[in-house]
Amino acid sequence: MSATGTAQSGTTTARAARRSGAQRKLLAFASLILLVAGFSIASPNFFQLSNIMAILQAASVNGVLAVGVTLIIITGGIDLSIGTLMTFCAVMTGVVLTWGGMPLPLGIAAALATGACCGLVSGTLVAKAKIPPFIATLGMMLILKGLSLIVTGTKPIYFNDTPSFTLIAQGSLIGAVVPAFPVPNGVLVLFVVAAAVAWILGRTVLGRYTFALGSNEEAARLSGVNTDGWKIAIYALAGGIVGIGGLLIASRLNSAQPALGLGYELEAIAAVVIGGTSLSGGRGTVLGTLIGALIMAVLTNGLRVMSVAPEWQTVVTGIIIIVAVYGDQLRRGAAR
Amino acid sequence: MSATGTAQSGTTTARAARRSGAQRKLLAFASLILLVAGFSIASPNFFQLSNIMAILQAASVNGVLAVGVTLIIITGGIDLSIGTLMTFCAVMTGVVLTWGGMPLPLGIAAALATGACCGLVSGTLVAKAKIPPFIATLGMMLILKGLSLIVTGTKPIYFNDTPSFTLIAQGSLIGAVVPAFPVPNGVLVLFVVAAAVAWILGRTVLGRYTFALGSNEEAARLSGVNTDGWKIAIYALAGGIVGIGGLLIASRLNSAQPALGLGYELEAIAAVVIGGTSLSGGRGTVLGTLIGALIMAVLTNGLRVMSVAPEWQTVVTGIIIIVAVYGDQLRRGAAR
Amino acid sequence: MSELVRLEGIDKHFPGVHALRAVGFDLRPGEVHALMGENGAGKSTLMKVLSGVYQPDGGRILIDGAEVSLPTPKAARDLGIGIIHQELALMRDLTAAQNIWIGREPRLSFGRIDEARLNAEAEAIFATMRLGIDPRAPVAGLSIALQQMVEIAKALSFRSRVLIMDEPTAALNDAEIAELFTIVRRLRAEGVGIIYISHKMDEIKRVADRVTVMRDGATVGTVEAADTPISRIISMMVGRELTEEKAAIPDLAAAPAALEVSHLSRGADLRDIGFTLRKGEILGFAGLMGAGRTELARAIFGAEPADTGEIRVHGRPVTIRTPRDAVRAGIGYLSEDRKQYGLALGLDVRANIAMASLPRYADRIGRIDEGALARVARDYIRTLGIRTPDDTREVRLLSGGNQQKVVIAKWLLRDCDILIFDEPTRGIDVGAKAEIYRLLNELAGLGKAIIVISSELPEVLRLAHRIAVMCEGRLTGILPGGASQEEIMELATEGMAA
Amino acid sequence: AQDQMYIPLISKGFQHQFWQAVKAGADRAGAELGVTVSFEGPDNESQVDKQIDMLAAALAKHPAAIGFAALDSQAAIPLLRQAQEADIPVIAFDSGVDSDIPVATAATDNLAAAALAADKMAEMIGGAGPVAVVAHDQTSRTGVDRRDGFVNRMKEAHPDVEIVDIEYGGGDHLQSTEITKAILTAHPDIKGIFGTNEGSAIGVVNGVRESGVKGVTVIGYDSGKAQKDAIRDGLMAGAITQNPVGIGYETVKAAVAAAKGEPVEKTIDTGFFWYDKTNIDDPEIAAVLYD
Ligand SMILES: Nc1ncnc2c1ncn2[C@@H]1O[C@H](COP(=O)(O)OP(=O)(O)OP(=O)(O)O)[C@@H](O)[C@H]1O
Ligand SMILES: Nc1ncnc2c1ncn2[C@@H]1O[C@H](COP(=O)(O)OP(=O)(O)OP(=O)(O)O)[C@@H](O)[C@H]1O
Ligand SMILES: [Mg+2]
Ligand SMILES: [Mg+2]
């Protein structure tokens, strides 16, 4: 009898848990919809295909960075170097394509490899040298910032010799098929990356260990998990994803701008946290991060389209970030 | 019998812990000395009274901010708004002194009150609305950044009508007494603030609860501590200290520069962590933070005095931050 | 007789769990009222309601006959209700004295704390408990047992009229338990009402006046401790009769060695330890607290590798520098502190059970076969009787005993040849304890080699085929399973500076 | 309000005095010509992509014309092309765009302006000695042009003047102050320092004053109250000023003309001026100074 009782309550709980989880995501999504609706009413120019595409395009780089750093944040870490790493990856692509005159795939590989290697270094500093992630990646942020300037001699590298390079972010595969829906490739890349990372997190050993590290690293280690190794792998994977971000921004700007990148890390982390991932690790979703990045992009674009004075844009952005997370918090409290 | 055994091991541990703590601080101090020695050998211009004063002066603003944020970090929180809050406090001083034509003490009070009020808001968002500190203060950072621009109409406010204002940071009380030792007042302020906060942390109830919150907030709450109230108080206190930082920078620049401040938060947090305070809360010292701020100031100044190329300065700074914390980590590992 | 506390019809729901169903309870001054029940029966939840941590969904709380509401822990404390929580609620970075007086620091002017008085008063409390803890020692550096003692000291410092003790002895050894009972009896004599929760059945007879038994969130009944046999209380708890007897000790002289440890040393913690564990054997480890049994286990398992020494598994020498090496060599380790070292509390039951065996349920590209995992997880939930709605519930929401079973399931799934169980029944109810004993015997019967570290001598005596005794980091002797308590204690204190 | 012609200006920044002066000029032209003007720019001059996003948002508003101060002209080409296709005339301001899309450019020749600063510096330090540059940015167009204009001119025309240090303070007053003090420590014999924008120049003045060194010739760039005060007090020998108000004004004027289909001049040189103690109050100079 107690068994059936348990079973029954079991299903209810599971269902309730699933419902509250789904609800939460739905409600985060609702914040997004609310913002879009608000701006659409406030300005006739907002809800237009071209502007929506501009928003998605604007979200793509930050979104990719945010998805990458989501992995690290779930392990309980943080990565402040993603902004300057993105730039460094773009620079290395420039070196390979423009200076080296190599074919496009090698340039793409250069960005990914650079990202993964730098991630590997950060990961090793964190996992092996036991340097707190904040400091390890703050150091990497400065090192990579300097390296980008050193490698380029402080001048942008342009991709004029590789005309197809701009297609990575700016072309539209979808638009070629469905002309009414000219989704830029950058957006496509964002969604593909997000889907892949969501799959990794949800279905693979790496994903499971990502959560385990964030939840209780010592317990994972004492279960025979090679925690250091997996952590390094996660940082490297995140670095590779940042490399994709580097490709996107370089493609959008048709150049590798060596001084770019500082400040992008905070924006990406903000997207992650708005998306409901906890900075203390152990929990988080890619879908949430995606919504977080979209909320930020919609906000920025909408305020601009409404011609709000720039200083007020900043204030309103600050308020909405707080309110969005507060809403999420309320829901959680209620769910608890 | 078991009791005596326990007692022994108890005392030994405590003594060992105390010893290793002192050692650690000594060794962090050693890093500093090492840096100073290195630069002194590398450049004859480095170890001169005027340059040492310049370094101390350079450390003063960042040091004060770092001391303030140390409090928050010990509670397990973080404050990203300190840079722009510093600016906002400077602006409010300008409003009171220059626009309002009020006497100096009121201007000083304005900075402190502004800082404390904003800290109060951040603290309330964190404690009552349960918004993660990272997000609450990220929002505040943006809001305050915007407000400074709005209040000033993006123009600096100068303190030409209050000539004594520059004395806050630039005068030298000590120099007036001991001319051979012209320590700028800004440095004096830093040391006074540090001493006061060290006293608060070590001797008062507020300090005790700062550690308690960072160590186990739930336990403190279950023990009947008004955790929310104290947390708000701590953020307000930290805000007030940031207000002092605002006074210092305004005094040094003889103006409130509304666009300044972004990026100062990371530098201050870096100083705190280099000083051995853990970002996960519960432990930390003001002395460590002071040493951390000095390490950063020595590093920046030394590399410049050595005329290292600016992009390499960045790289070297990154490396040294990592190495300094790695050294600290090794020592801790050894102590453990 | 006047009543100190009366609870009527207390109801409490958690999402998906009806934790308390119209529970009634009463406490008189000057009595020790034991609250018994299986893991997850709702004991801690009821006590949290009484101490203002949880708000009940229904029911009344009466103190001295007057109905009260307890919106905060402080409100409860102001009414004279003190509690020692089951889960340690200490601030690890503060010192023992600071923990005791947190929230009530003796103050001087300007918000200064009178640190000298604070330490002196803490020392005085420790003295009455006959403990030599340095009040200035950071709690993080104390063993779990000493931390528990600090919790008890803290509760005593309130001079409460009602003192709730939620499994205070789970981490204590016999000497300390005796010490605690002296304190309990003294408080009882002073008229304090004590609610006492424990899974150690013998303690009922030693201190309790009355016993209330809970099952599935409801009260089964209240009986006088003096005239109720333990077996009756057990059957009230588990709803059936438990018959348990020691399994016969098999003759393993001819069995091949599974684990051979020789000349294992690490600093002053472990000194030249050597023993052999045979296939199918249960080797018990006894010793006083701090004897180094946990250190030994952690050294063998690679959690903190030894400095010198040799370990052979199935006759082959192995190098174990990390837990991964140990797991690969077929060694599993269930730690004594499940929260810190055993569980990822934020993850669900299934993920925790799978933690040590994940690669086995993944294909070449690392994709996890969730279906298969769910099946085995449910298997273990059933066979170990883990009380959880399903395998996707976060482990932190389970009761302590059920959490322990999840850790056991993790190592069972991993299917190690050598299992080291450090305090496997800490915080586990009698029914589950019996199941775990049965399980260990079964595993031994299947040819697994098992080490059981336990601070409860009866447990060691009941389970072990041989008993290794440690003292101050040395292995002072190995006794046959039928050894007497006196023999063990003699080895456990051998050579100690008395 | 929708009936009024709408012209957004995407600049390189908005928080700095210089950009506020450009904005003031643009607003004045807007008021005179009866058009709505908006003014926006990223936080710093490295945020090329933020500026692109701003341009995209501006295009979404279907403006009559756009004013654009490109941080990197090549990076903006696709959007500029989009503007061209939508028949939105683009006016480049502050610095040029390497493309024939902009119908007009209203800009300062930063290279020439910085060269003038070099000439003045050489003259004041007697044609020889070590000097340093505290620049505001290592990569942005304005930072690079002002640095290179100064450095190259020194090399070509004043070979005895040695540039011993170039540092970058991000236009941050405090950082530039610390940098200056470090430069003075490293090179106690320094004769002069050039600060390449308002923040840098003020930082240099502060640094020199705080270290109590005498006889260092400070030359600044741009205007602002503190800079004017420093020149009056003799702490700064003089500075280059552009005509930001004129840049803003001319940009909007050209934009309106282009939107109406009227012909516009391809390049509008808004000029730059040297000012020091002697001419700071001349009406011609006072008109281009701002604070
Ligand atoms: N915060 C909570 N949220 C959800 N469920 C909870 C919570 N706390 C307890 N429960 C559930 O309530 C039930 C009663 O738990 P409780 O901790 O009171 O058991 P217990 O009798 O103290 O067990 P043990 O002897 O193992 O400590 C369990 O099923 C547990 O999973
Ligand atoms: N009070 C204490 N303070 C600090 N360290 C302690 C204390 N008590 C024990 N230790 C450390 O733990 C070591 C042995 O403890 P360990 O936990 O291994 O013993 P055990 O026999 O497993 O006892 P337990 O019953 O507590 O598990 C000691 O050598 C010592 O280093
Ligand atoms: Mg319990
Ligand atoms: Mg032990």
Residue with tokens 């150690």: C200
**C56 and C129 inside one domain:** yes
Check pocket membership of C289 for ligand 2, CB cut-off 6 A: yes
Enter the DSSP assignment of B67.
H
Tokens standing for B42? 């590398």
Residue A115: domain span: 33-331
Kind and range of the H or E element at C15?
Answer: none
Q: Return the pLDDT at B24.
A: 56
- Going by alpha carbons, the residue nearest to atom 6 of ligand 1 is C397
| Number of A–B residue contacts, CB under 8 Å | 130
Contact C412, C376 (CB under 8 A): no
Contact A227, A213 (CB under 8 A): yes
CA–CA distance, A58 with A177 (Å, rounded to integer)? 22
Q: B264-274 and B49-74 are packed helices; what angle lies between their axes, rounded to 10 degrees?
A: 90
Structural domain contains residue C216 = yes
CB contact under 8 A, A10 and C388: yes
Ligand 1: which of C85, C384, C397 to mutate, most ligand atoms within 8 Å of CB?
C397
CA–CA distance, D247 with D270 (Å, rounded to integer)? 6
Structural domain contains residue C180 = yes
Check pocket membership of C295 for ligand 2, CB cut-off 6 A: yes
- Ligand 1 centroid, distance to C338 Cα (angstroms): 16
CB atoms inside a 10 Å sphere around CB B67: 30
Residue that is last in its domain, among C238, C271, C293:
C238
Q: How many CA atoms lie within 13 A of A325 on its CB side?
A: 30
CB contact under 8 A, B203 and C115: yes
CB contact under 8 A, B57 and D138: no
Structural domain contains residue B22 = no
Residue C146 forms contact with B (CB below 8 Å): yes
CB atoms inside a 10 Å sphere around CB C104: 14
- Going by alpha carbons, the residue nearest to atom 25 of ligand 1 is C39
Residue C94: domain span: 5-238
**What number does the ligand 1 atom closest to the CA of C387 have?**
29
Residue that is last in its domain, among C238, C273, C291:
C238
Q: Mind listing the pLDDT tens digit for each residue in B228-250?
A: 999 999 999 999 999 999 999 99
Which residues of chain C does A221 touch, with a Cβ-Cβ cutoff of 8 Å?
A: 303, 322-323
DSSP of C266-327: ETTTEEEEEEEEETT-EEEEEE-TTSSHHHHHHHHHTSS--SEEEEEETTEEE--SSHHHHH
Residue D172 forms contact with A (CB below 8 Å): no
Q: How many CA atoms lie within 13 A of A75 on its CB side?
A: 30
Q: Which of C16, C345, C387 comes nearest A13 by C-beta?
A: C16
Q: Which residues 169-208 of A are in CB contact (within 8 Å) with B?
A: none
Residue A1 reports pLDDT greater than 80: no
Question: Residue A310's closest CA among C365, D285, B146, D163?
Answer: B146
CB contact under 8 A, B318 and A135: no
- C-alpha angle with apex D96: D91 to D99, nearest 5 degrees? 80
Structural domain contains residue A12 = no
Q: Return the pLDDT at A137.
A: 96
Enter the DSSP assignment of C130.
T
Q: What is the mean pLDDT of residues D191-207?
A: 94
By C-alpha distance, the chain A residue nearest D6 is A307
Q: Return the pLDDT at D98.
A: 79
Q: Nearest C-alpha of chain C: how many angstroms from A185?
A: 27
Give percent above pLDDT 90 in chain A.
67
Q: Mind listing the pLDDT tens digit for each residue in A45-82?
A: 899 888 898 899 889 999 999 999 999 999 999 999 99
By C-alpha distance, the chain C residue nearest A218 is C341
- Ligand 1 centroid, distance to C46 Cα (angstroms): 9
Residue D86 forms contact with A (CB below 8 Å): no
Ligand 2: which of C169, C295, C460 to mutate, most ligand atoms within 8 Å of CB?
C295
Which residues of chain A does C324 touch, with a Cβ-Cβ cutoff of 8 Å?
A: 224-226
CA–CA distance, D58 with D56 (Å, rounded to integer)? 5
Structural domain contains residue C252 = no
pLDDT in tens, chain B (336 residues): 333 333 334 344 444 444 455 555 566 788 899 999 999 999 888 998 889 999 999 999 999 999 999 999 999 999 999 999 999 999 999 999 999 999 999 999 999 999 999 999 999 999 999 999 999 999 999 999 999 999 999 889 999 889 999 999 888 898 889 888 889 999 999 999 999 999 999 999 999 999 999 999 999 988 888 999 999 999 999 999 999 999 999 999 999 999 889 889 999 999 998 888 888 899 899 999 999 999 999 999 999 999 899 899 999 999 988 998 888 777 766 444
Provide the CATH number for the domain around residue A235: 1.10.3470
Residue with tokens 């789904």: A22
Q: What is the mean pLDDT of residues A243-260?
A: 93
Residue D168 forms contact with B (CB below 8 Å): yes
Task: Determine phi and psi for D131, rounding to 5 degrees.
Answer: -135, 165
Residue that is last in its domain, among C208, C238, C268:
C238
Q: Which of C342, C362, C389 comes nearest A219 by C-beta?
A: C342
Tokens standing for B131? 């918004």
A131, A140, A336: best to mutate for the B interface, most B CBs within 10 A: A131
Structural domain contains residue B3 = no
Q: Which residues contact C5 (CB under 8 A, 6 or more apart)?
A: C25, C26, C27, C50, C61, C62, C63, C81, C162, C193
Structural domain contains residue C220 = yes
Partner chains of D (3+ C-beta pairs under 8 Å): A, B
Ordered strands of the D90-94 beta sheet: D36-40, D6-10, D66-68, D90-94, D104-107, D267-269
Q: What is the mean pLDDT of residues D160-184?
A: 92
Q: Considering only CB atoms, which residues of chain B are within 8 Å of chain C?
A: 1-11, 13-14, 17, 203-206, 208, 211-212, 214-216, 218-225, 282-283
Structural domain contains residue B110 = yes
CA–CA distance, C311 with C317 (Å, rounded to integer)? 6
Q: Return the pLDDT at B13.
A: 44
CA–CA distance, C121 with C127 (Å, rounded to integer)? 10
Structural domain contains residue C434 = yes
Contact D51, A262 (CB under 8 A): no
Check pocket membership of B9 for ligand 2, CB cut-off 6 A: yes
Q: Identify residue D265 by its one-letter amino acid code.
A: E
Q: Nearest C-alpha of chain D: how many angstroms from B195?
A: 25
Residue with tokens 């933020």: D50
**C172 and C279 inside one domain:** no
**Poorest-confidence range of C186-195, D96-105, D126-135?**
D96-105
Structural domain contains residue C471 = yes
Q: What is the mean pLDDT of residues A253-263?
A: 91
Strand partners, C449: C418
**C64 and C141 inside one domain:** yes
pTM of the predicted model, to two decimals?
0.89
Check pocket membership of C73 for ligand 2, CB cut-off 6 A: no
Cα D256 to its chain centre, rounded Å, is: 23
Q: Nearest C-alpha of chain C: how many angstroms from B237?
A: 14
Q: Which residues contact A96 (CB under 8 A, 6 or more apart)?
A: A102, A106, A107, A110
CA–CA distance, B195 with B199 (Å, rounded to integer)? 6
Task: Determine phi and psi for C7, rounding to 5 degrees.
Answer: -110, 135
Contact B310, D168 (CB under 8 A): yes
Q: Return the pLDDT at A23.
A: 54
CB contact under 8 A, A222 and C344: no
Structural domain contains residue B23 = no
- Among A15-19, A111-115, A266-270, C203-207, the range with the most confident prediction by mean pLDDT is A111-115
**C268 and C388 inside one domain:** yes
- Ligand 2 centroid, distance to C288 Cα (angstroms): 9
- Going by alpha carbons, the residue nearest to atom 9 of ligand 2 is C290
Structural domain contains residue C497 = no
- C-alpha angle with apex C422: C419 to C423, nearest 5 degrees? 130
CA–CA distance, D200 with D230 (Å, rounded to integer)? 13
**C169 and C298 inside one domain:** no
Q: B49-74 and B205-222 are packed helices; what angle lies between their axes, rounded to 10 degrees?
A: 30
Q: Which of D14, D206, D225 comes nearest B253 by C-beta?
A: D206
CB contact under 8 A, A12 and C16: yes
- ipTM of the shown complex: 0.87
Structural domain contains residue A303 = yes
Ion ligand 4: residues, Cβ under 5 Å: C 294, 336
How many domains does the structure of chain C reveal? 2
**What number does the ligand 1 atom closest to the CA of C47 have?**
18
CB atoms inside a 10 Å sphere around CB C229: 10
Structural domain contains residue A1 = no
Q: Which of B4, B211, B222 comes nearest C89 by C-beta?
A: B222
Structural domain contains residue B25 = no
Structural domain contains residue C48 = yes
How many domains does the structure of chain A reveal? 1
Q: How many CA atoms lie within 13 A of A78 on its CB side?
A: 21
Q: Where are the alpha helices (DSSP H) in A128-184?
A: 133-152, 167-170, 173-177
Q: How many CA atoms lie within 13 A of C330 on its CB side?
A: 18
- Ligand 4 centroid, distance to C143 Cα (angstroms): 9
Q: Mind listing the pLDDT tens digit for each residue in A149-162?
A: 999 998 899 998 88
Strand partners, D98: none
Residue A26 reports pLDDT greater than 70: no
Contact B18, B260 (CB under 8 A): no
Residue C350 forms contact with A (CB below 8 Å): no
Residue B313 forms contact with A (CB below 8 Å): yes
Task: Determine phi and psi for C214, rounding to 5 degrees.
Answer: -115, 145
**C104 and C200 inside one domain:** yes
- C-alpha angle with apex B129: B127 to B134, nearest 5 degrees? 70
Which residues of chain C does A11 touch, with a Cβ-Cβ cutoff of 8 Å?
A: 389-390
Which residues of chain D does A54 touch, with a Cβ-Cβ cutoff of 8 Å?
A: 53, 56-57, 59-60
CB contact under 8 A, A225 and C356: yes
Region of residue D5 (left: phi > 0; alpha: psi -120 to 50; beta: else): beta
Which residues of chain A does B140 touch, with a Cβ-Cβ cutoff of 8 Å?
A: 318, 322
**C227 and C291 inside one domain:** no
Q: Which of B8, B206, B225 comes nearest C103 by C-beta?
A: B225
**C165 and C271 inside one domain:** no
CB contact under 8 A, D186 and B249: no
Tokens standing for B111? 């900075």
Three-state SS at A36: helix
Contact B245, B65 (CB under 8 A): yes
Q: Is B164 exposed, middle or buried (0-12, 13-18, 19+ CB in 10 A)?
A: exposed
Q: Which of D47, D75, D140 comes nearest A255 by C-beta?
A: D75
**What number does the ligand 2 atom closest to the CA of C173 have?**
25
A1, A222, A234: best to mutate for the C interface, most C CBs within 10 A: A222
Q: Which residues contact C280 (CB under 8 A, 6 or more apart)?
A: C250, C252, C255, C444, C445, C446, C447, C448, C449
Residue A17 reports pLDDT greater than 50: no
Provide the CATH number for the domain around residue C20: 3.40.50.300
